[in-house]
Amino acid sequence: MKKIVKILGIIVGCIVLAAVGFCTYVALTGIPSYDPPAAPHLTVQKTPARIKRGEAIAHILCIQCHAAHDNRLTGKAMHELPELFGTLYSPNITQDKKAGIGNWTDGDLKYYLRTGVRPDGTFAPIMPKFPLMADDDVESIIAWLRSDRFEVQASQQEAPVSEYSFVTKFLAHTMMGAKPYEPTFQTIPDSTDEVAFGRYMANGLADCYSCHSADFTKQSREHPEQSAGFYGGGNEMKGEGGKTIFSANLTFDEQTGIGKKYTKAQFIKAVKGAVRPDGSILRAPMGPHPTLTDYEVGAIYEYLKTIPKIHNDVARKNADAQLAAK
């Protein structure tokens, strides 16, 4: 008996030592960086159609995090993310060669958007990665970043440097670290298969699941369906004026989800205009998505019908948070 206790003690001791060692390593090394990546050779065609598509995507994905008050992508403080991640700023991604990304190649940008690894091998722990976005759509974003649109014109203004918390460093060394670049070509699903197309729009492109699942730290970018509380909402974030807000449950659960709350037409209106059927406004960071088409949002609705229902009363949580803030 004594022997077993001793062996157990040694095992526990080793685990504790290893954990302490790993945490010290994380604290000392900070955000991991990698060998400079072998970015693909690529010249994106900057056709008007490409730029227009890229603009539509950027207006639901990139602008909300990178646009400063003047609407240029010079970077800003990321108040909407939980403080748990640190004091965060998005960088300048205008065409300026020094302050922005004017020196990056099209291939650098594609590699980065898929993996979060910059041309110099440093890693972006916070910005979402898009491993499931179709090649055409990634390249459309790149065409837009290179275009003559106002938002991306060179600006020398630089945002302050982020201070990442231990949690972010830890996650960047573990679950949220860089995944390999997959050179395989990915296409946009055929739009006649509404559910498959909606799944792509929601998970591969518009990133609806990351806010609408339970927890930013328990998600899989490669397999969104494995994310904790997939579309069950309740993910805590900061809204207007730094107030706590929980994302809505988008599963079709009758009581707590959108099953009974929204018809398809109402859902389309709500997502595009950020207004509920009763006229109430959807609060930040749920922004309006006016550049998505009715068909695209309708397909997301059809897809959401097919995922497992989760019973999670987020309206209640939000009401409680509002009371607590008073």
Please give the Cα distance from 252 to 226 (Å, whole number): 18
Helical (H) or strand (E) element with 163: strand 163-164
Residue with tokens 């939000």: 318
* Position among 46, 118, 199, 221 found at the interface with ligand HEC (CB under 6 A): 118
> Contact region for ligand HEC (CB under 6 A) — 22-30, 86-94, 186-194, 216-224?
86-94
Residue whose CB is less far from ligand HEC, 12 or 142: 142
Helical (H) or strand (E) element with 236: strand 236-238
Residue whose CB is less far from ligand HEC, 125 or 229: 125
Angle between helices 294-305 and 264-273 (to 10 degrees): 120
Q: Does 65 bind ligand HEC (CB under 6 A)?
A: yes
Residue whose CB is less far from ligand HEC, 91 or 107: 91
Three-state secondary-structure class, residue 307: coil
* Position among 95, 140, 227, 247 found at the interface with ligand HEC (CB under 6 A): 247
Helical (H) or strand (E) element with 246: strand 244-246
Q: Which residues between 21 and 40 bind ligand HEC (CB under 6 A)? A: none
Please give the Cα distance from 106 to 99 (Å, whole number): 17
Please give the Cα distance from 168 to 272 (Å, whole number): 32
Asked whether the beta carbons of 53 and 140 are under 8 A apart, the reply is yes
Supply the minimum distance, in Å, between the C-beta of residue 187 and ligand HEC.
Answer: 19
Residue 85, phi then psi, degrees to nearest 5: -85, -10
Please give the Cα distance from 198 to 200 (Å, whole number): 5
> Contact region for ligand HEC (CB under 6 A) — 15-23, 61-69, 175-183, 305-313?
61-69
* Position among 211, 275, 307, 321 found at the interface with ligand HEC (CB under 6 A): 211
Please give the Cα distance from 25 to 70 (Å, whole number): 41
Residue 281 burial class via C-beta count within 10 angstroms: exposed 0-12, middle 13-18, buried 19 and up: exposed
Residue whose CB is less far from ligand HEC, 23 or 315: 315
Q: Does 58 bind ligand HEC (CB under 6 A)?
A: yes
> Contact region for ligand HEC (CB under 6 A) — 149-157, 190-198, 214-222, 284-292?
284-292
* Position among 300, 309, 310, 312 found at the interface with ligand HEC (CB under 6 A): 300
- Binding residues for ligand HEC, per CB under 6 A? 58, 61-62, 65-66, 78, 88, 90-91, 93, 101, 112, 118, 124-128, 141, 145, 162, 202, 206-208, 211-212, 237, 245, 247-248, 250, 258, 261, 267, 270-271, 276, 282-283, 285-286, 289, 300, 318
